Structure 1
């Protein structure tokens, strides 16, 4: 086929020179990703972060294309050229199963985007499956096995999913660009120059070790500064409580939801077909929220208005030693007139920036290997003091969310809010300190 190009703000040009890739991009399931935000509620904090899963998946494909082309040219004795197409295809389709407001939605309705990705790839009812079957009848299963990490070639699996993979490389650069932050920037050109296939996966030449180190640090900073931002998490909590209220109300007001939000009904019923799943996107959900904001239920209506109009909950940090004391705050919130089930929430965000391979761990990490000049391999944190300081250490916090009104020292809430704020110092819960004294 004649090469097609997509102009991209991160990679300049994304090159498509294989008919399968172009056909996959034009399927209805892949085009749906234009209607799924990459960053969910983060755009309520970083207003530029409106980019889609569609552009991210194209970017992941482009990085995979560059790497496999390099492997074919420079390492034909280690890299099998027949693996390039399955690698590029898995890169393109790795997020095709993401749902509307994916992670929040997944927790509430017990869906899994990775599982849905594999279903979309292997279902005979999808245009994606039809396109993949043009290569061979077993090609959809091959691509799905890369996604679920059972594909026998570890080089391919690690390129798509590991502690330094094509997915992370793109989303760090893309999210950094669109949020207007610099935390996620790293030297992709250098990393692509020093990456190479090995017998059991991928590794990086020692001469490029600092570029890899910078990538790990960039990932850490993006999580701390962007992905874990308290205001973005506040919107996530609002969304979670809003959908939870709708789910509870559906049991007694089915007719209302059948009219106001018909595509959510299968999720409320717990009987979701692939067609139902694909019919839902961020735009559909936002339309439902606007409808609910004028509905008869006061709590659903209020939460919907708060979400649509970005009336964020406030938050304080707490720790395990004083978590029990949060019931005191919940009771004050209840006395003011807010139902704590819907107007408070606990939200945990923790991340492990990097870790070595631990065979007994629940989630085993594929450690980053560096190739020394003599050909021997050494794990990254043994060479880098910076990465060593991050390895195996979890970073993040636990927050208690509540209505902003609880901080007001005037008006009808003032009597209660003074009691509420007496438990807060420097945005931290100090129940334990008061209790001790």
Structure 2
């Protein structure tokens, strides 16, 4: 029996709070789960610093990756099984790509990426194609299988059906994280009728479409996504913790570039600081390592690094006010000068943070972040873009919502033990009086 078709002697199951059970029948999937690169995802939270806002948000990329795999397994084994439009040869490829799609995420994910200008999808591909246990497992299937999985992640694989299952405006990735994140944060916004959506999915040419009878379930899904972004993912307290996290990493990098002598040398960061991180270096990074350094740096000589680390570790976060950078830039300039007079470095203690989301959009060639639309399949087989059929989706389609906040250390500003006159002006501008 070829390794690619080899089944386990007995089905393995993972108990899961979202999908009840995650079923593993293929030897390849079981072997991938056991690799050290995949096990590393247990040590990376799905929602970064959100646990400082919603205390239950401790779930990991490992949990989520298994969930995405299970949704794809249900689609290809149950929904698409025996359908002439579906290429059964792509089954294992879809399962592996689903399982491994987040393999390259770093600690605290997107915040970490922004500081060091990294791309988790590029690292996912590098891990899949590099000298790793994951690559060894994939290469047993066929000499080109690892490359095919990498191509799905890169969205360059020739069969667009497979790509759209894992990466589109209605895909297994989003369907899992919305429900999983809602469950672990304790909110109700992320719930939608996934069972109904799975029943009305249809493979069609180079994409997956939705039977028109399932339109209302898709509307519910899109509105759930919209609510989750603004109530959970863009929560202002979470953004405050991300601001501090980002500033800690920036400060450590700046000090390293200035040849500062750390009391606790950041060995795990050195190649990243130099912009020469290897896959091997990257795989050694997880959130336990980052938090270890933050705890050590609470006693650093540098006052900024020391203070920011203490704030993050003890959840003494920055406060915020609403801010419109297009209209209030003069106020920001004035605050920056006052902060310097008060002994606060504005680069680290006065931060404008912006969040933006586009809940749904149809295809607009040439624009940033081109998005393939969700298509409904009418009873006569004709395809219609979702917003042309749904008044609800049409109302929000193409409408980007952006929110700006100005973050600052309120406790320092309210401390009248020094720079009283300067702080009085800052209080007045920030509306703290």
Deviation at 1:321, TM superposition (A): 2.1
Note if contact 2:79-2:199 (Cα within 8 Å) is conserved in structure 1.
Answer: no
Question: Equivalents in 2 of 1:136, 1:110: separation in Å?
Answer: 33
Q: Does 2:35 align with 1:27? A: yes
> Could you tell me which residue of structure 2 aligns to residue 86 of structure 1?
93
Deviation at 1:71, TM superposition (A): 4.2
User: What secondary structure is seen at the aligned counterpart in 2 of 1:280?
Assistant: coil
Q: Does 2:136 align with 1:130? A: yes
What is the aligned residue count? 424
- CA change 1:297–1:425 in 2 (3 A) is closer
Deviation at 1:378, TM superposition (A): 1.0
Question: Equivalents in 1 of 2:146, 2:183: separation in Å?
Answer: 33
Select which of 232, 239, 248 maps to 2:245: 239
Note if contact 1:355-1:392 (Cα within 8 Å) is conserved in structure 2.
Answer: yes
Note if contact 1:72-1:80 (Cα within 8 Å) is conserved in structure 2.
Answer: no
Deviation at 1:425, TM superposition (A): 5.5
Note if contact 2:338-2:422 (Cα within 8 Å) is conserved in structure 1.
Answer: yes
> Could you tell me which residue of structure 2 aligns to residue 5 of structure 1?
13
Deviation at 1:254, TM superposition (A): 5.6
Deviations for 1:147-196, whole angstroms, at most 9, x for unmatched residues?
A: 00000111111111000111000000000000001111111111111111
Deviations for 1:374-411, whole angstroms, at most 9, x for unmatched residues?
A: 22111111121111111000113122211112653865
Select which of 179, 187, 194 maps to 1:181: 187
> Could you tell me which residue of structure 1 aligns to residue 47 of structure 2?
39
Deviation at 1:344, TM superposition (A): 1.5
> Could you tell me which residue of structure 1 aligns to residue 3 of structure 2?
none
Deviation at 1:78, TM superposition (A): 0.2
What TM-score, normalized by structure 1, do the two folds share? 0.94
Note if contact 2:37-2:103 (Cα within 8 Å) is conserved in structure 1.
Answer: yes
Note if contact 1:108-1:240 (Cα within 8 Å) is conserved in structure 2.
Answer: yes
Q: Does 2:336 align with 1:347? A: no
> Could you tell me which residue of structure 1 aligns to residue 72 of structure 2?
64
User: What secondary structure is seen at the aligned counterpart in 2 of 1:373?
Assistant: coil
> Could you tell me which residue of structure 1 aligns to residue 57 of structure 2?
49
Deviation at 1:64, TM superposition (A): 0.5
Deviation at 1:324, TM superposition (A): 3.8
Note if contact 1:356-1:367 (Cα within 8 Å) is conserved in structure 2.
Answer: yes
Question: Equivalents in 2 of 1:92, 1:15: separation in Å?
Answer: 12
What TM-score, normalized by structure 2, do the two folds share? 0.94
Write out aligned runs for 1:82-121 (5 A).
82-121=89-128
User: What secondary structure is seen at the aligned counterpart in 1 of 2:362?
Assistant: coil
Q: Does 2:262 align with 1:256? A: yes
> Could you tell me which residue of structure 2 aligns to residue 270 of structure 1?
275
- CA change 1:138–1:254 in 2 (3 A) is farther
Name structure 2 gaps, 5 residues minimum. Answer: 1-7
Note if contact 1:408-1:414 (Cα within 8 Å) is conserved in structure 2.
Answer: no
Q: Does 2:316 align with 1:311? A: yes
Deviation at 1:414, TM superposition (A): 5.2
Note if contact 2:320-2:405 (Cα within 8 Å) is conserved in structure 1.
Answer: yes
Q: Does 2:169 align with 1:163? A: yes
User: What secondary structure is seen at the aligned counterpart in 2 of 1:142?
Assistant: helix
Q: Does 2:337 align with 1:337? A: no
Select which of 304, 320, 326 maps to 1:299: 304
Write out aligned runs for 1:139-218 (5 A).
139-218=145-224
Question: Equivalents in 2 of 1:409, 1:112: separation in Å?
Answer: 41
- CA change 1:328–1:195 in 2 (3 A) is same
Select which of 285, 294, 297 maps to 1:280: 285
- Range moving further from structure 2, 57-66 or 368-377: 368-377
Two-structure CA RMSD over aligned residues (Å): 1.7
Question: Equivalents in 2 of 1:38, 1:140: separation in Å?
Answer: 25
Question: Equivalents in 2 of 1:250, 1:25: separation in Å?
Answer: 37
Question: Equivalents in 1 of 2:256, 2:47: separation in Å?
Answer: 28
User: What secondary structure is seen at the aligned counterpart in 2 of 1:134?
Assistant: helix
> Could you tell me which residue of structure 1 aligns to residue 4 of structure 2?
none
Write out aligned runs for 1:339-378 (5 A).
339-378=345-384
Note if contact 1:406-1:413 (Cα within 8 Å) is conserved in structure 2.
Answer: no
Note if contact 1:23-1:131 (Cα within 8 Å) is conserved in structure 2.
Answer: yes
- Range moving further from structure 2, 97-106 or 404-413: 404-413
